[in-house]
Chains A and B, each alone.
Chain A
């Protein structure tokens, strides 16, 4: 990673704040989040449900900004633009510079269209002038890359005709088809069974290594994070509370919340779940950054 720290980050979030509701009574959701991902890096954002990890991912893709009653401040540097503002600049980059993998692949594919048509539109967001035949060829190649045995048949299927694992592969193929710089995986495969989930992560790992794509992994599963990520941000109630490399964080968790989170992993040998408070004033302690993991200071846009 040493050489990597010299490269400009792919994604750099600075003081990102988000609130829902009308201006006079906003409900704050994110309280100033900063994080970054360097080229080829796999970074995990870990937290419990409602901690703000999914909205962070959606803000980075510009998916929330144009909705009503959404107030965003701070900045999200990605691909030479500030994505925090939302709008057409980031919209143009979706699907080709940044892509997303969803929790439940089967419900993330349209039930009234075959995979083929959707794949064509995915490829078209990378290359508007691509012909149908050309798109189909590239789609078949992309599906073969994720080890789908009969790509032609898969293209002519509807999502509900394929298994969850197959759909997950289709999603990964779509996500990486335009060779994005950044892949955001929002709890990939949580809706699937454990073996398929493990396969999904292996496949994602393998392919992003090959294409050099950076990954932002959103997860609440610490086992998955430990296997997959190079660096980890722990998020609690809209604040990053601890940041370090995976090894640092798992070997030496320093923030009380991180320690509680790690203690919540059920162990086969142990006597069930430990008794943990859901909330504790300690959890609100300030951010702990491990050695060598500070936010980059160089100019971005």
Chain B
């Protein structure tokens, strides 16, 4: 246990260094992009004096290192600056928009694992036969069709033609929004004890999260399939067959677990990538999330908001990676036991 803790601290330290690097990079990039943020924020009707005043207020005329120093100073107080666009603290904006995105991405991640892994197992188990062909087709379509196209297709077929699912938003017009506690609609409706609202929120969540999950789901299925096919060639699978282990048990256990270890690492990356890919899905489904906010602030050259959003998404990415690393260690006894000895 102490080892896991130590390696966790080690990884957190490394993640912090990466975050600092990213903050410098995005800070610099945001400021070398063409266009004057103060002018964009105030609009074409503002006077030169007003623009100059805003530039002064936001230290926009200082050198980059000085600006970065100011940024770090306020960051230490938990202040990410103020959005030029919404005129609110960036932290407030993020707190408002992040939960919706996290909810979407988490549910997508669950769908990715719950559909992608079994699809890959089925393909490997029925290699070269009908279920494999179907599984591979789904996986391939998932990988090569962008999430927003899936969004539109799902909206059109399941939402519009068949009417099974609502087309956009987090809740139906008739549903009363629950009091804001965590910002996660599913949790807040449960906390409010409103079962109907919870089901409504879930109902609204399915299409966007499926659209977002499709690519990672396809990738997961493909990787699981190819890793398992490789494992099927190993002597220990032949041993399992020679000792009469049921074929289904070999597929779901003895061939699956060794194949899961390399798959899991990619799964983590796919999961984290969804944070960034979410914006098109959020756009298509009118989802009030952080990714959509991020795109809007980039287009408006809203410096503090850009840096804040990117940092939060980077932090989420790093956290997911750390969790995946830990999971790989738990699943792979070779690594777990080697760490125990060191």
Say whether A associates with B. Answer: yes
Binding site for B on A (CB under 8 A): 61, 63, 68, 91-96, 99-100, 102-104, 107-114, 118, 121-122, 125, 158, 160-161, 174
**Complex interface: chain B residues within 8 A of A107 (CB):** 234-236
Asked whether B239 lies within 8 Å of A109 as measured between CB atoms, the reply is: yes
Distance in Å: Cβ of B92 to nearest Cβ of chain A: 47
> In the bound complex, how far is the Cα of B244 from the Cα of A94, in angstroms?
5
CB distance from B230 to the nearest CB of A (A): 14
Is B242 positioned at the interface, with any CB of A under 8 Å from its CB?
Answer: yes
8 CB-based A-B contacts, threshold 8 Å: A63-B238, A99-B242, A110-B258, A111-B333, A114-B333, A121-B243, A122-B243, A125-B244
Task: Determine the chain B residues whose CB is within 8 A of the CB of A102 once the complex forms.
Answer: 235, 238-239, 242
- For A109, list chain B residues within 8 Å (CB): 236, 239
Cα A104 to Cα B239 in complex, Å, equals 11
CB-nearest residue of chain A to B331: A112
Contact surface of B with A, Cβ cutoff 8 Å: 128, 234-236, 238-245, 249, 253-254, 257-258, 261, 331-334, 337
Give the CA-CA distance A99 to B253 in the complex, in Å.
21
User: In the complex, which residues of chain A have a beta carbon less than 8 angstroms from the beta carbon of B334?
Assistant: 111, 158, 160
CB contacts (< 8 Å) of B128 on chain A: these are 68
B253 / chain A contacts, CB cutoff of 8 Å: 113
Chain A residues near B254 (CB-CB < 8 A): 110, 113, 118
Beyond A94-B243, A158-B334, A161-B337, 14 additional contacts (C-beta under 8 Å) are A63-B242, A94-B242, A99-B242, A100-B242, A107-B234, A107-B235, A110-B236, A110-B254, A111-B333, A112-B331, A121-B249, A122-B244, A125-B243, A160-B334
Among residues of B, the one whose C-beta sits closest to the C-beta of A119 is: B243
Distance to closest chain B CB from A66 (angstroms)? 10
Question: CB-CB < 8 A to A112: which residues of B?
Answer: 257-258, 261, 331-333
Q: Give the Cβ gap from A213 to chain B, nearest Cβ, in Å.
A: 15
Tell whether, in the assembled complex, residue B243 and residue A111 are in contact, meaning their CB atoms are under 8 Å apart.
no
Assembled-state Cα–Cα distance A94/B331 (Å): 29
User: A125 with B245: in contact, given A111-B333, A112-B257 (CB under 8 Å)?
Assistant: yes
- A100 proximity list for chain B (CB < 8 A): 239, 242-243
**Complex-state Cα separation, A121 to B238, whole angstroms:** 14
Residues of A with C-beta under 8 A to B244: 91-96, 122, 125
* Residue from B238, B241, B243 having most chain A Cβ neighbours under 10 A: B243
* Bound-state Cα–Cα, A283 to B244, Å: 38
> What CA separation (Å) do A102 and B238 show in the bound complex?
10
A97 to chain B, nearest CB (A): 9
Collect the chain B residues with CB atoms within 8 Å of residue A110's CB.
236, 239-240, 254, 257-258
Closest to A171 in B: B239
**Is there an interface contact between A61 and B242, defined as CB atoms closer than 8 Å?**
yes
Chain B residues with CB under 8 Å of A161's CB are 337
Q: A125–B257 Cα gap in the complex (Å)?
A: 21
What's the least CB distance linking A171 to chain B, in Å? Answer: 8
Say yes or no: B243 contacts A99, CB within 8 Å. yes
Among A92, A104, A114, contact of B235 (Cβ-Cβ < 8 Å) = A104
Question: Are B238's CB and A108's CB within 8 A?
Answer: yes
- Assess the A158–B245 pair: CB atoms within 8 A: no
> In whole Å, how far is B299's beta carbon from the nearest beta carbon of chain A?
48
User: Do B241 and A108 touch across chains, with their CB atoms under 8 A apart?
Assistant: no
Which residues of B lie under 8 Å from residue A68 when comparing CB positions?
Answer: 128
A111 partner residues in chain B, CB cutoff 8 A: 236, 258, 333-334
Given contacts A121-B249, A122-B243, A125-B244, are A113 and B234 in contact (CB under 8 A)?
Answer: no
Question: For the complex, what is the distance from the CA of A60 to the CA of B118, rounded to whole Å?
Answer: 32
Chain A residue numbers with a CB within 8 Å of B240 are 110, 118, 121
**Do A108 and B333 touch across chains, with their CB atoms under 8 A apart?**
no
CA distance A288 to B173 in the complex (A): 90
A109 to B241, CA, bound (A): 12
CB of B239 within 8 A of CB of A158, answer no
Contacts of B241 in A (CB 8 A): 63, 94
- Which of A100, A102, A111, A158 neighbours the largest number of chain B CB atoms within 10 Å of its CB? A111
Q: Report the minimal beta-carbon distance from A121 to chain B, rounded to whole angstroms.
A: 5
Inter-chain CA distance A160–B341, complex, in Å, is 14
* C-alpha gap A113/B234 in the complex (Å): 15
CA distance A114 to B332 in the complex (A): 12
Q: How far is the CB of A125 from chain B (nearest CB, A)?
A: 3
State the CA gap A96–B245 with chains docked (Å): 11
Report the separation of the CA atoms of residues A100 and B245 in the bound assembly, to the nearest whole angstrom. Answer: 13
B261 to chain A, nearest CB (A): 7
Contact of B243 among A95, A103, A158, A160 (CB under 8 A): A95
The CA-CA distance from A161 to B244 in the complex, in Å, is: 25
Interchain CA distance A91-B333 in the complex, whole Å: 30
* Nearest neighbor of A107 in chain B, beta-carbon distance: B235
